[in-house]
Structure 1
């Protein structure tokens, strides 16, 4: 979970291109941004920091100017706190063409929280860094509709009390017979626009009854047959059930789901946490706060982090820093709905994002959101209507070949064979040169364990 420290750590990379990063030279390199009183302070323990007070607007703070280059990848970090309560703070770079949000942090009183982020710029030139304080903010969002999953919009209960699981049952019979694993998406959706038509008029008591029936029905029916449940979809951006049933509604649903189906990991699932640095509603800090809220309200069971991954562009430094932050929760992370908006760089962005996400040790799986239908795909297709690969399909096939390639080789005179492998589960067979002795199938798992190479030993009788 994200830390809040009495004393901040030293700057990463010795501050990089930041002038006077540890503030050992007063305010050298730093100046006022907007209408604020900016002061250099040194605490009794020797920690030096800047205070921005008497601010008139949310963006009034302090600033430093940098020259950034197009297409370079920039990481960014800072330690922040507020004088009272807590607040979301964004690090923003004012460029020649607009504003780039590098990251967010939920800052608190009395301790230092780390803002970790990154950015790319569209053109080379001077930029101004400043910090924007957001309290009790409201985010305006374009709502989208997904029609690909019969369970997604509760269409199996179009009228109250009338359930029809015919389509999902058929889908599960097909996937089971073909060895295809299935995620449960989703038990509930917290967006009020995606509730069955009959739900809106229910009283609180009736809604509780309907919600409890929903959990028991769908989770009970498919218990043990799925590998994840998205229990309450998008409950960072929306709060339909909390507004009707109280602030602990999500926690109760997670607990009920885990009680009914203890073999399947319940997940949160959100958009814009890694895709869009400007959306503070679902920032990594807010995601960790939601996890902490579930724990504080009494849910102690397993939990997973679902990141939808609906990208419009590839801000690789921000993606990496966001996942770094989420990884501090030490929970399984999956990218659950990966796609890229159509455009001339769609395939290029897709490849960059897949490589970046796959390379992070904390990411356990990736699901591409490209289900085909005669009416087209949600935002990204891999093939045309004759099932010929589009460029995005070529990207996926090429990457799968690389990721799934099986190294072969001969051991040295001491019986060692060295290979560079991605993190994950592997199976290995050992064959004697005479061709007669073949070992049984051995399984092993490659996990991040520092910089030292891992050694796995197998034996074969000859």
Structure 2
């Protein structure tokens, strides 16, 4: 086979015909056990049939027998094409394995009529078992496409089974999201109020107020917040978690060797603490060579570099121990390898080891860009980010690290590929570690507010995602991509979206009171977002009867929870 584009080798999937019918497919919203086990001896069968575009057969032959490529690297065996429609979402799935070799990248590509290649997803396939390949496309065109498998090894021989493409309208996709949100972000709570003799207290009134949400939608801040009271008021009235864009970075805190200055970071942390805002640490080190302090870039001696690097880790982590929710230890260490080139292949892993010793209870992140947002990424793909975290955790002494994944989320100013994003989160989530979107933004563009809401809802509806931080702010903050308010702090359209989601996800609106009357309490109970609540039980006519308590609603308690309140009267 010939090299077609970008160093990958494409194999055309021969489609004899394609039609809508009942068959086997993978629901893109299902959390298949295969995502955790990675590899199964036999692909599981699914009963999902609705809206399925199903290929007529599986391909389990040598790829050279199925796909013909001429000596110039172009496809000469045409196939039946699939018609895509702009505005729909297409979810692709297939079970793949290698005929020989092991752990090779296998992905799939859509080729448009004008020859453009749209990458849809990838996995690391094995020889002895089947791996689920998922992804998809949200086309910005209507037209026909061919589908290819791809590999970074021209000798790869790929077997595929149960290859399918499922079509969703945006309304259908959002309905699936909403159903999953109800399942993973909320629980039904039913209250039983009784006297000590176990008889029901008729006329009891239950008031519920959320004091702390489980899932946080936060926002980054920068030094300009110290200069603007309006910015501070705007921020504190909305967000409960933040990160600092540059103020904790090495090139800010030690511009000259040996002269540390944490003034800005300390002041911003003080503001956050005074307003009940959590802070996520960003970043201890950065693996990009041009993102080091200028004086560090001039160091040639590995021993000298090691000494100043260890001093940096000890300094910043000791200073802020117990004050942060997590740390990006070596930022972007899949894209870049400055410390590995200077100090050895295990540099990152050893720095995570030191960070763990300095603050063993803190989540330590691998934080990368283009992992969930860019389907043409070849460096920090979901598979490679996952492998980097596995490499770090496998380093001697690191097995008990509280690892976490930071997906930065710098999206292009166009329709996001939600099917690819979900499959990327599936791959990262298969580690069983928490995922945060850490730097979400998008350049200004028509429909920015629509795209941002789609991205945020996609993340919120994925069970592995535990929180989101957007890189945004009012005009005075200088965030020129995702501007949420003008110079007078009036919301932009995107700002309206953020406020809407904050209200929706953090249960800030008043929860209706529950009246325990003559009829039995509703068996369904009240649906509450996961989080911490204050509950007050009073009575409509017995004014001296009142009790209050705290209640944690968590996913560990399951979909339904019964709270029993006993009144001493």
TM-score using structure 1 length? 0.84
Residue 304 (structure 1) aligns with: 404
2:290 aligned counterpart, secondary structure: helix
- Give the Cα separation in 2 of the matches to 1:11 and 1:459: 44
Q: Which one of 84, 89, 106 corresponds to residue 68 of structure 1?
A: 84
The yes-or-no answer on 1:38 pairing with 2:65 is yes
Residue 17 (structure 2) aligns with: none
- Please report how far the alpha carbon of residue 11 of structure 1 lies from its aligned counterpart in structure 2 after TM superposition: 6.5
Is the contact made by 2:475 and 2:484 (CA closer than 8 Å) also made in structure 1? no
Query: Deviations for 1:63-111, whole angstroms, at most 9, x for unmatched residues?
Result: 7632222211111122223322433222111123532211111223433
Query: Deviations for 1:416-441, whole angstroms, at most 9, x for unmatched residues?
Result: 46223344444433333335433323
The yes-or-no answer on 1:4 pairing with 2:39 is yes
Query: Deviations for 1:157-181, whole angstroms, at most 9, x for unmatched residues?
Result: 1122221111111111221122111
Residue 438 (structure 1) aligns with: 546
Q: How many residues align?
A: 431
The yes-or-no answer on 1:454 pairing with 2:560 is yes
Query: Deviations for 1:201-241, whole angstroms, at most 9, x for unmatched residues?
Result: 32111111111101100001100100110111111111111
Q: Which one of 505, 525, 535 corresponds to residue 428 of structure 1?
A: 535
Q: Which one of 479, 497, 519 corresponds to residue 395 of structure 1?
A: 497
Q: Where does 1:246-285 land on structure 2 (aligned, <5 Å)?
A: 246-285=344-383
Residue 251 (structure 2) aligns with: 154
The yes-or-no answer on 1:238 pairing with 2:273 is no
Residue 191 (structure 2) aligns with: none
- Please report how far the alpha carbon of residue 61 of structure 1 lies from its aligned counterpart in structure 2 after TM superposition: 11
Is the contact made by 2:530 and 2:552 (CA closer than 8 Å) also made in structure 1? no
- Please report how far the alpha carbon of residue 275 of structure 1 lies from its aligned counterpart in structure 2 after TM superposition: 0.8
- Please report how far the alpha carbon of residue 273 of structure 1 lies from its aligned counterpart in structure 2 after TM superposition: 1.4
- Give the Cα separation in 2 of the matches to 1:55 and 1:249: 44
Gap change, CA 1:427 and 1:56, over 3 Å in 2: farther
- Give the Cα separation in 2 of the matches to 1:402 and 1:109: 46
Gap change, CA 1:375 and 1:325, over 3 Å in 2: closer
- Give the Cα separation in 2 of the matches to 1:318 and 1:259: 37
Residue 19 (structure 1) aligns with: 55
- Please report how far the alpha carbon of residue 372 of structure 1 lies from its aligned counterpart in structure 2 after TM superposition: 4.5
Runs (5+) with no aligned partner, structure 2: 1-35, 155-221, 224-244
1:349 aligned counterpart, secondary structure: helix
Residue 100 (structure 1) aligns with: 118
Q: Which one of 266, 269, 273 corresponds to residue 176 of structure 1?
A: 273
1:429 aligned counterpart, secondary structure: strand
- Give the Cα separation in 1 of the matches to 2:96 and 2:56: 16
Specify which structure has the bigger relative contact order, considering alpha-carbon pairs within 8 angstroms and separated by 6 or more residues. Answer: 2
- Give the Cα separation in 1 of the matches to 2:107 and 2:475: 40
Is the contact made by 2:121 and 2:133 (CA closer than 8 Å) also made in structure 1? yes
2:561 aligned counterpart, secondary structure: coil
- Give the Cα separation in 2 of the matches to 1:318 and 1:378: 27
Gap change, CA 1:6 and 1:340, over 3 Å in 2: same
Gap change, CA 1:419 and 1:324, over 3 Å in 2: farther
Runs (5+) with no aligned partner, structure 1: 40-50, 137-145
Q: Which one of 384, 406, 413 corresponds to residue 286 of structure 1?
A: 384
Q: Where does 1:334-349 land on structure 2 (aligned, <5 Å)?
A: 334-349=436-451
TM-score using structure 2 length? 0.69
Question: How large is the Cα RMSD of the aligned pairs?
Answer: 3.0
Query: Deviations for 1:368-410, whole angstroms, at most 9, x for unmatched residues?
Result: 1114564731521111122211111111111212222343232
Gap change, CA 1:166 and 1:272, over 3 Å in 2: same
Q: Which one of 103, 106, 112 corresponds to residue 89 of structure 1?
A: 106
Is the contact made by 2:124 and 2:383 (CA closer than 8 Å) also made in structure 1? yes
Is the contact made by 1:268 and 1:304 (CA closer than 8 Å) also made in structure 2? yes
Gap change, CA 1:185 and 1:61, over 3 Å in 2: farther
Deviates more, 1:106-115 or 1:331-340: 106-115
The yes-or-no answer on 1:409 pairing with 2:516 is no
Residue 208 (structure 1) aligns with: 306
Residue 137 (structure 2) aligns with: 119
- Give the Cα separation in 2 of the matches to 1:175 and 1:378: 23
1:117 aligned counterpart, secondary structure: strand
Query: Deviations for 1:113-152, whole angstroms, at most 9, x for unmatched residues?
Result: 222212111122211110121259xxxxxxxxx9942123
- Please report how far the alpha carbon of residue 271 of structure 1 lies from its aligned counterpart in structure 2 after TM superposition: 1.1
Gap change, CA 1:446 and 1:182, over 3 Å in 2: same
Gap change, CA 1:311 and 1:204, over 3 Å in 2: same
Gap change, CA 1:52 and 1:281, over 3 Å in 2: farther
- Please report how far the alpha carbon of residue 12 of structure 1 lies from its aligned counterpart in structure 2 after TM superposition: 7.8
Gap change, CA 1:319 and 1:2, over 3 Å in 2: farther
Q: Which one of 382, 385, 392 corresponds to residue 487 of structure 2?
A: 385
Query: Deviations for 1:247-285, whole angstroms, at most 9, x for unmatched residues?
Result: 211111111111111232111111111111111322221
